[in-house]
Homo-oligomer: A and B are copies of this chain.
Amino acid sequence: MTSSSVQQRPLADRSPDELAAFLEAERAAHERLVAAGLRLDLTRGKPSSEQLDLSNGLLAGLAGPDDVRDRDGVDVRNYGGLEGIAELRELFADLLGVTPAQVAAGGNSSLVMMREVLVDLWLHGGVDSERPWGREERVRFLCPVPGYDRHFTLLDWFDIEMVPVPMTADGPDAAEVARLAGSDPTIKGMWVVPTYANPDGSVVSHEIAEALASMETAAPDFTILWDNAYALHHLTDDEHASADVLGLCAAAGHPNRAIMFASTSKITFAGAGVAFLAGSADTVAWYTRHLGKGAIGPDKLNQLRHVRFFGSADGVRAHMRRHREIIAPKFDAVRRVLDAELGGLGIASWTEPAGGYFISLDVMAGTAARVIALAKEAGVALTPAGSSFPHGDDPDDRNIRLAPTFPSLDDVEAATRVVATCTRLAAAEQLVGG
């Protein structure tokens, strides 16, 4: 997943004089960037306006006055239907590789569904729990790193202790996960972003998924929160299928271990899409039972709009190819600039994701925060150092998450040039200073 073409000589091979000259040149380059007064932003993992426009058909009065009933005859404008309308569950069951009975369709946010699940676990425990998690002495969670900052924020909100585990090119380090989960009953679960992970773009292989599904865990209710946020968000012709984690869990005798989440936030409208939860039939029943204690039903009208807009699962797949047409060139631009400007220097590596929303850039250890500060001086906002780690703590201070979807192609390219200059400058500072 890492690349560096060889245009330049590694900094490590250069003499002190050469390094000093390099440092001087980079300082001058940085000063020119600062003087240019840029104002760019690579922090936002959200769709661009052009992408949102792809779904403007949703605004056109779909599910209009003469079309307010779902196929069961229910008026979608009114209360009810905790699990969402059948035709949308069916459509996304197809896309997620599960049966409709294994899917609930909710409101506009899968993150909110994750919060709901954690609240349910905390107050009442899950299908296989011996007691509510809130009554355990201690609850810990495995967090593959780098990972999604909002996952960590959510756990921290519960005072759930986070235990980092390494990511590999094929997903979380399953041996390390099995070692920890197998021996420690306070470890109650883990996060997985299986497809085009945030931020490193990796895809969980069938083998890793099978290992996670079948491993013995000390906690009987070990729960994999399987956040399949980018399941359909391909950037290349090599469209990776997500591992069938629910099937693998069932086959391994742990049918309730994994709970899957997905949404149309990065398919239709980030703020006005539909979110999904999938799991065993028991898990879906457990979820809707608790949901019913404090909710009457999701926005079924918006769900019906989505059904009318897409028509079918293939309609969604075709729609995702139009997203790709818009954003793949932005990812290409980042790679092209990083290749040209950092390739061969031996001070950075970066991912070349086949999907998703992020590129993960590893700069020289100990310089990520400095790179981000330098970029800020030059008018480029980058995600704070350590964001992809629990409590914002990147032990090596090397990871930077780049989000190229929102800015224009020109801005992505300009911002990446700044990132490259700052990466070179920070490395040179450290090599010369150290």
Name A's B-contacting residues (CB within 8 A): 46-47, 49, 52-53, 55-56, 59-61, 63-65, 68, 75-81, 107-109, 111-112, 114-115, 118-119, 122-124, 134, 150, 153-154, 156-158, 265, 269-272, 290, 293-302
Main secondary structure of the interface of A (DSSP, over half): loop
**Across the interface, do B111 and A269 meet the contact criterion of CB distance under 8 Å?**
no
| Cβ-neighbour of A271 out of B80, B134, B154 (below 8 A) | B80
A91 to chain B, nearest CB (A): 19
Give the residues in chain B near A158, CB-CB below 8 Å. Answer: 123
A170 to chain B, nearest CB (A): 29
**Across the interface, do A52 and B64 meet the contact criterion of CB distance under 8 Å?**
no
15 residue pairs A–B, Cβ–Cβ below 8 Å:
A47-B78, A59-B63, A59-B301, A61-B61, A76-B271, A77-B270, A77-B271, A78-B271, A79-B270, A107-B107, A108-B299, A112-B295, A269-B301, A271-B300, A299-B299
**Across the interface, do B272 and A77 meet the contact criterion of CB distance under 8 Å?**
yes
**Across the interface, do B296 and A109 meet the contact criterion of CB distance under 8 Å?**
yes
| Cβ-neighbour of A52 out of B78, B298, B302 (below 8 A) | B78
Oligomeric state, in copies: 2
A53 to B75, CA, bound (A): 11
A81 to B297, CA, bound (A): 23
A150 to B297, CA, bound (A): 13
| Cβ-neighbour of A111 out of B76, B109, B119, B294 (below 8 A) | B294
**Across the interface, do B68 and A59 meet the contact criterion of CB distance under 8 Å?**
yes
Give the residues in chain B near A157, CB-CB below 8 Å. Answer: 123-124, 290, 293-294
Give the residues in chain B near A59, CB-CB below 8 Å. Answer: 61, 63-65, 68, 301
Chain B, residue nearest A60 (CB): B61
**Across the interface, do B111 and A296 meet the contact criterion of CB distance under 8 Å?**
yes
A209 to chain B, nearest CB (A): 26
Give the residues in chain B near A124, CB-CB below 8 Å. Answer: 157
A60 to B63, CA, bound (A): 9
A20 to chain B, nearest CB (A): 45
Give the residues in chain B near A53, CB-CB below 8 Å. Answer: 65
Give the residues in chain B near A122, CB-CB below 8 Å. Answer: 123
Give the residues in chain B near A47, CB-CB below 8 Å. Answer: 78
| Cβ-neighbour of A46 out of B79, B107, B115, B295 (below 8 A) | B79
